[in-house]
Structure 1
Amino acid sequence: MRGLRQGGHQADGGSPGGWWTHRRVLVGLSAALAVAVAVAVGVVAVVRDGQAQEYRRGTIVILTGGTKGIYYSYGVELAAAINRRLDGVRAEALATTASVDNVRRVARSANVFAFTAADAASAAVDGRLPFTAPVPIRALARIYDDYLHLVVRADAPIKEITDLVGKRVSMGSDGSGTGLIAERMLGVAGVDPATLAVSHLGINESVDALLAGQIDAFFWSGGLPTEGITELTDEAAVRLVPLGQLATGLRATWDPAYRMGTIPGDTYRLAEPGHTLTVAVPNLIVTRADTDSGLVEEVIRILFGARGDIAERVPVAIALDHRSAIATSPLPLHDGALRYYRAEKI
């Protein structure tokens, strides 16, 4: 596998005759014994390529985001796929305030999985703000990219980010990736948050507040399309403020994970048609470094195996790809993830 250290056991070649028949019987008995021992100690074993591979059984939690965001819908579908395909494991998707909150929760418990943006994950492993110390997390996969939205009413006098001065602005919920990137973006643009009337609302609450006239604008970092914004454009005339010109400054000041991205004009029913240049950042699925490696390997196998089924309900899931999935730097891949990608010869 390119870029990953090679290792692991190779399958033995066969040889003819009675010795090989006898060996196959021994392998079968060994696998059966492994299964029996595994069940006794609270793990389950599956046989792959003639070898028993164990994984921890029990309940696992998948930390997502707000219920009208893609993290949540993706997490719900992934949990359902795990429950259908993985014996002895019960998966539950939990709504949260997303990236930063998710990483903090993962740090407290092994065998918990979470969606997070790469900028939050990078800050976590380095122990940079908003984290106070390095967090021992590892990646399963890079899954798709988020796009930063700055949403305003069609008639709002806000054409660029500097026009937010003096306005009522939601910066995303506390502990969210939206809040992290929005705060960084204001700094790069030279806008002091103290000059705004700031609130911290998730996607659901931001949509409601804009409709009610309680805020003038809100930031949201999410995949395309985000359900909450789709619903908003069905009820009100809104625009997206271009932000792409800030991508270079964000990369230089904060994180190379940021890049310029485009929200296609047909993504939402906007008052002003056309593409919107903005900032994009990758999303990862992460867990703690000491999460059971066998469990991690099985979760990734299901993530890829159920991709088509998940994409029927969460279209962005089709972006999942073996080659790009390993591009999680600076976050290392989990040992179980390494084992999976090696087996797939990635």
Structure 2
Amino acid sequence: MNVTKTLKRIVAAGLAVAVVAGAGVAAAQQMAFFRIGTGGTAGTYFPIGGLLANAISNPPGSRPCDQGGSCGVPGLIATAVASNGSVANINAIASGGMESGFTQSDVAYWAYTGTGVYEGKDKVEGLRSIANLYPETIHLVARKGAGIKSPADLKGKRVSLDEPGSGTLIDARIVLGAYGISEKDIKPEYLKPNAAGDRLRDGALDAFFFVGGYPAGAISELATSAGVELVPIAGPESTKILADYKFFAKDTVPAGTYKDVGTIETISVNAQWVTSTKIADDLVYGVTKALWNDNSRKLMDAGHAKGKAIRKETALDGLGVPLHPGAEKFYKEVGLLK
């Protein structure tokens, strides 16, 4: 989905609420707000978050679903909020700054268990899952002519690893380590994909990492305007990553996903929607039910290429943390859980 259109929908929803409240109609129906922490506006989390926010929202005064209106949770106003990504979203959920958010399955697991990047930190024991969403592909994007054919070629190069608080930064470090490279061996920068793309286009950057569903808007635009190369993450180093970190899986970016880029082997993690035990069971039940209704299915199929990969049949695959009781109730009702 076009980011501008997504933002317009979110703003329009907010205006609709203001009008309804001004008319006094909202008094007849309890109103709840449900924020979804996403990622940078040039990535995949943000447009997907806009789609899901639209699907589960049903502002006070809206027409009911059976009258052609919203099929979301009655009285709910959901918004997609741009953020630094997985770690930042989990931290916001833990502090109460967000009701929910998207995260990579590896980051969720580390936060819940106090391992990995959360080693020595407080466990986020209240973290709970709503659904597994889709595979997130690790992209290593290189400037044409930079001579980068493998992550091993990044030594001495100017490389963006994404911002602190992002899952991309964590996974970039894992990839670098598998190829025998540390941040001391490169000239690291810590930029979101849109800023990294601008610098790569200007010749001020040689490569950048991005973890997200393909096609990613920032990379598509860059491939069209300046041309890029995707670097494979494959071979024995990739095999070792898969052996050491069970939440990774083999993945392939099909030819033509980005202009003039052929088929590329890489690895991926899962994108998951998480929340907190602090959020009421009834609300999470309603959100989960609204996520998987027929109206939401149409929105996801039409709204983004990765929306088609968000399927109820895979909603419980590879969850990094336990289900929220409200979500668990729904999945039991539809027979996905006993």
- CA change 1:151–1:243 in 2 (3 A) is same
Unaligned runs of 5+ in 2: 1-26, 59-71
TM normalised by structure 1 equals 0.80
Unaligned runs of 5+ in 1: 1-41, 45-55
The answer to whether the Cα contact below 8 Å between 1:178 and 1:220 also exists between their aligned partners in 2 is yes
CA apart distance, 1:192:
1.7
Between the aligned partners of 1:330 and 1:219, the Cα distance in structure 2 is 23
2:313 is matched with: 323
Q: Which structure has the bigger radius of gyration?
A: 1
Please list, as runs of the form range in 1=range in 2, the aligned pairs for 1:52-63 lying within 5 A after superposition: 57-63=31-37
1:76 aligns with 2:50: yes
AA aligned to 2:111 is A
Deviations 1:18-56 (A, max 9, x none): xxxxxxxxxxxxxxxxxxxxxxxx997xxxxxxxxxxx8
CA apart distance, 1:83:
2.2
Runs of 4+ in 1 over 6 A off after TM superposition: none
- CA change 1:105–1:153 in 2 (3 A) is same
Deviations 1:304-331 (A, max 9, x none): 2202212212121111222311124441
Q: Secondary structure at the match of 2:188?
A: strand
1:172 aligns with 2:162: yes
Please list, as runs of the form range in 1=range in 2, the aligned pairs for 1:29-40 lying within 5 A after superposition: none
Q: Secondary structure at the match of 2:323?
A: coil
Between the aligned partners of 2:215 and 2:28, the Cα distance in structure 1 is 39
CA apart distance, 1:86:
2.1
AA aligned to 2:199 is A
Between the aligned partners of 1:256 and 1:174, the Cα distance in structure 2 is 23
CA apart distance, 1:95:
0.2
Percent of residue pairs identical: 33
The answer to whether the Cα contact below 8 Å between 1:116 and 1:286 also exists between their aligned partners in 2 is yes
Q: Secondary structure at the match of 1:260?
A: strand
Between the aligned partners of 2:154 and 2:102, the Cα distance in structure 1 is 30
Q: Identify the range of structure 1 (279-288 vs 108-117) with the bigger mean alpha-carbon deviation.
A: 108-117
Q: Secondary structure at the match of 2:282?
A: helix
Which residue of 229, 234, 251 maps to 2:242?
Answer: 251
The answer to whether the Cα contact below 8 Å between 2:54 and 2:78 also exists between their aligned partners in 1 is yes
Which residue of 27, 35, 41 maps to 1:67?
Answer: 41
Deviations 1:260-307 (A, max 9, x none): 10000121113xx42100011111000012311111111111212202
Between the aligned partners of 1:108 and 1:177, the Cα distance in structure 2 is 19
TM normalised by structure 2 equals 0.82
Between the aligned partners of 1:238 and 1:299, the Cα distance in structure 2 is 39
1:99 aligns with 2:86: yes
Q: How many residues align?
A: 291
1:141 aligns with 2:131: yes
